[in-house]
Structure 1
Amino acid sequence: MARLPRLVVAGQLHLLVQRSHGHSPVFRGENDFQAYRRALTELAPQHQVAVHAYALLPTQVWLLVTPSTATALSRLWQALGRRFGADYNRRHGRSGVLWEGRFRTTVVDPAAHLLDCCRRIEWAPVRAGLADTPADYAWSSAAHHMGQRVDPLITEHPGYWALGNTPFEREAGYRRLLDQPLPAAIERRLDDAVMKGWALGGEAFVRALGELTDRRPGPLPRGRPRKVSANKTVP
């Protein structure tokens, strides 16, 4: 069976993960983390991709983004590969690919899952044993959302602004959310959606999404299709 193209829809929220080739560490030290974040900060606006949350782990990258066009994510990833990949190989005296062949992504209903996605991303370093709390990890957007620093990579999503009328209210509200990890069942739903590439949201959201793209946003119903005769429907 032919593999479906990625589901990328202009103007929609996307949860994205890129994993290293063979689970080998890509970020070996501070210089690697800095180089990737610097490249992403410069290239994302050029390719019209807004980054709302991120976490850079040694063997993977998690992002929450909104692309302005259907090709923006692919173009950004190609540019990142050229910029970061070439610098990385030169810096470490190596050659070859760094990442799996395809990044994984899914379109997400922001009304239902924006803050879930942020929490899933910013808790990833803690889950991986890299930090005690999300705020302790230097290579994610957690400190920005909690008001500890301003991260030039981040474009705040309107859903984040709904947490309060002032920066202080928004940051305090988000800190309360980030105090606890995402429930395991919700985390599994997000991970399953991003790995399979099916849109995550209610029926109305998925149905509306189907009007915006030629690519099927969700799996087909299970079981054999029902046969329709002239007189009746037969199971």
Structure 2
Amino acid sequence: MRAGLAEQPVDYEWSSAEAHLSGHDRRRLLDMEFFRQSRGVENWLQLLGMPVPEADYRLLRKSTHAGQALGDESFLESIRFQQQARKPMTGAVASDHPGEELTLAAG
């Protein structure tokens, strides 16, 4: 909305707001079953009606431009844990053939 691409989130062609507010995703990109089970429409209506302090926008922009997650410490810790779990494992592994080593790489 800030960029002036649309008057309302639901009016922007690539926004998920239409699906979140209607409960129907015409593009079939979203997990609408989970959305319905978690009271998604009610939550989105509440979220869109809430004012957001400018300081929160600044924090979000700063994190986005830096490529960093934004959240409380437990959320950030879960992100760090997930990143560690995704790092490839490397190392030498014994081979069935004498004198040959295999390199383990998981991705």
TM-score (norm 1): 0.29
Query: Structure 1 197/159 Cα, relative in aligned 2: closer, same or farther at 3 Å?
Result: farther
Q: Show CA shifts across 1:105-139 (max 9, x none).
A: xxxxxxxxxxxxxxxxxxxxx21122221122232
Q: How far is the alpha carbon of 1:161 from its aligned partner?
A: 4.3
Other-structure match for 1:143: 18
Structure 2 unmatched runs, 5+: 85-107
Correspondences of 1:1-235 after superposition (within 5 Å): 126-147=1-22, 149-150=24-25, 151-156=27-32, 161-162=37-38, 164=39, 170-180=40-50, 182-214=52-84
Alpha carbons of 1:196 and 1:147: their partners in 2 closer, same or farther (altered >3 Å)?
A: same
| Overall identity of the aligned pairs, in % | 33
3-state SS of the aligned residue for 2:22? coil
Unaligned runs of 5+ in 1: 1-125, 165-169, 215-235
Q: 2:9 touches 2:17 (CA, 8 Å); kept in 1?
A: yes
Shift of 1:175: 1.9
Match of 1:56 in 2: none
**Quick one: distance in 1 between partners of 2:3 and 2:72?**
30
Aligned residue type for 1:192: K
**1:134 partner letter:** P
Q: Name the one with the larger strand percent.
A: 1
Q: Take 1:186 and 1:159, find their aligned partners in 2: how far apart are those partners?
A: 25
Q: Aligned partners of 2:47 and 2:32: how far apart in 1?
A: 16
For 1:194, what is the secondary structure of its paired residue? helix
Distance change (3 Å), C-alpha of 1:183 and 1:155: farther
Question: Following TM superposition, by how much is the alpha carbon of 1:158 offset from its aligned partner in structure 2, in angstroms?
Answer: 5.1
CA distance in 1, matches of 2:36, 2:67: 24
C-alpha distance after superposition, 1:4-57 (max 9, x if no partner): xxxxxxxxxxxxxxxxxxxxxxxxxxxxxxxxxxxxxxxxxxxxxxxxxxxxxx
Query: How has the CA–CA distance of structure 1 residues 160 and 180 changed in structure 2, closer, same or farther, with 3 Å as cutoff?
Result: farther
Larger helix fraction of residues: 2
- Conserved 8 A contact 2:22-2:41: yes
TM-score with structure 2 length normalisation? 0.56
> Contact between 2:23 and 2:36, CA under 8 Å: does it hold in 1?
no
Measure how far apart 1:192 and its partner are: 1.3
Alignment RMSD (CA, Å): 3.0
Moved over 4 A (4+): 156-161
Distance across 1 between alignment mates of 2:42 and 2:81: 38
